[in-house]
Structure 1
Amino acid sequence: MPKISPLSILPLSAVIRSLAINTISSSPLLLAPSLKIMTILAHSHNPILSPDRNPILRFLLKNTFYKQFCAGETHAEVQRTIRGIKDLGFQGVFLCYAREVEKSPGASVDVEKCLRDEVLPWAEGTLATVRLAEPGDFVCIKVTGAGSLALQALEKQGVCHATLKQAIDDICALGAKRGVKLAFDAEHAAVQPGIDLWTLKYMKRYNKPGKGGAVIYGTYQAYLKACPRVVANHMAMARKENFTLGVKLVRGAYMGSDPRELIHDTKRETDECYDGIAEALIRQRYNSVLQPAHHDHGEGEFPAVDLALAGHNLHSVRKAHAIRTEQAEKGEDRIELCYAQLQGMADEVSCELVAEGTQRARDALDSKTDIPRAYKYLTWGTTGECMKYLLRRAYENRDAVGRTREGRNEMGKELIRRVKGMFAWR
Structure 2
Amino acid sequence: MDISFDNTKVAFDYKSDKELKASRFLFTTMNYPWFSAMGVRLTPFLMKTGLPINGIIRSTIFKQFVGGETLERTAAVAKLLNDYHVQVILDYGVEGKEGEANFEQTTEQFIRVINYAATQKNIPFISVKITGLSRFGLLQTLNEAPRLRSGVHDHEVENEEWDNVRERMYRICEVAAERGIGVLVDAEESWIQDPIDRLTMEMMEAFNKDKAIVYNTIQLYRQDRLSFLKLSHQIAQQKGFILGIKLVRGAYMEKERARAQQKGYPSPIQQDKSFTDGDFNAAVEYCINNLNSIAVVIATHNEYSNLHAAELLDMKGIMHSHPHVHFSQLYGMSDNITFNLAKAGYSVSKYVPFGPIREVIPYLMRRAQENSSINGQTSRELTLIKRELKRRKERSKPPSPKGEQGNAQS
Could you tell me the TM-score, scaled by structure 1's length?
A: 0.80
The residue correspondences of 1:304-383 to structure 2 (distance < 5 A) are: 304-328=293-317, 336-357=324-345, 372-383=346-357
Q: Which of 101, 109, 128 is equivalent to 1:125? A: 109
Tell me the equivalent position of 1:140: 127
Tell me the equivalent position of 1:364: none
Q: Which of 72, 90, 99 is equivalent to 1:76? A: 72
Equivalent residue of 1:344, what SS?
coil
The residue correspondences of 1:7-406 to structure 2 (distance < 5 A) are: 7-12=11-16, 13-38=18-43, 40=45, 46-48=48-50, 56-90=52-86, 92-101=87-96, 114-116=99-101, 118-134=102-118, 137-148=124-135, 151-153=137-139, 155-156=141-142, 157-158=151-152, 159=159, 160-208=161-209, 211=210, 213-259=211-257, 261-284=267-290, 304-328=293-317, 336-357=324-345, 372-406=346-380
Point out the structure with max Rg over C-alpha: 2
Asked whether the equivalents of residues 95 and 377 of structure 1 are also in contact (C-alpha less than 8 Å), the reply is: yes
Separation (CA, whole Å) in 1 of partners of 2:37 and 2:399: 38
Separation (CA, whole Å) in 2 of partners of 1:131 and 1:258: 36
Residues 10 and 143 (structure 1), Cα distance of their counterparts in 2 relative to 1, 3 Å cut = same
Q: How many residues align?
A: 367
Separation (CA, whole Å) in 2 of partners of 1:202 and 1:256: 30
| Aligned alpha-carbon RMSD (Å) | 2.4
Q: Which amino acid aligns with 2:390?
A: I
Asked whether the equivalents of residues 327 and 334 of structure 1 are also in contact (C-alpha less than 8 Å), the reply is: no
Equivalent residue of 2:298, what SS?
strand
List alignment gaps of at least 5 residues for structure 2: 1-6, 143-150, 153-158, 261-266, 401-410
Equivalent residue of 2:53, what SS?
helix
Quote how far apart the aligned CAs of 1:196 are.
0.3
- Can you list the C-alpha shifts for 1:232-287, whole angstroms capped at 9, x where unaligned? 11011001111100010000011121245110111111111101110122123xxx
Asked whether the equivalents of residues 176 and 206 of structure 1 are also in contact (C-alpha less than 8 Å), the reply is: yes
Following TM superposition, where does structure 1 have runs of at least 4 consecutive aligned residues deviating by more than 6 angstroms? 331-335
List alignment gaps of at least 5 residues for structure 1: 49-53, 104-113, 285-301, 358-371
Could you tell me the TM-score, scaled by structure 2's length?
A: 0.83
Quote how far apart the aligned CAs of 1:35 are.
2.5
Equivalent residue of 1:96, what SS?
strand
Quote how far apart the aligned CAs of 1:25 are.
2.0
Separation (CA, whole Å) in 2 of partners of 1:396 and 1:198: 28
Separation (CA, whole Å) in 2 of partners of 1:164 and 1:332: 37
Quote how far apart the aligned CAs of 1:400 are.
1.1
- Can you list the C-alpha shifts for 1:320-340, whole angstroms capped at 9, x where unaligned? 1001011117x9997710100
Q: Which amino acid aligns with 2:276?
A: T
Separation (CA, whole Å) in 1 of partners of 2:386 and 2:320: 40
Identical aligned residues as a percent: 25
Equivalent residue of 1:411, what SS?
helix
Q: Which amino acid aligns with 2:181?
A: V
Quote how far apart the aligned CAs of 1:32 are.
3.1
Quote how far apart the aligned CAs of 1:228 are.
0.9
Separation (CA, whole Å) in 1 of partners of 2:82 and 2:176: 20
Asked whether the equivalents of residues 341 and 376 of structure 1 are also in contact (C-alpha less than 8 Å), the reply is: yes
Equivalent residue of 1:258, what SS?
helix
- Can you list the C-alpha shifts for 1:138-171, whole angstroms capped at 9, x where unaligned? 11111102352x6414541535444433322221
Equivalent residue of 1:338, what SS?
strand
Residues 115 and 67 (structure 1), Cα distance of their counterparts in 2 relative to 1, 3 Å cut = same
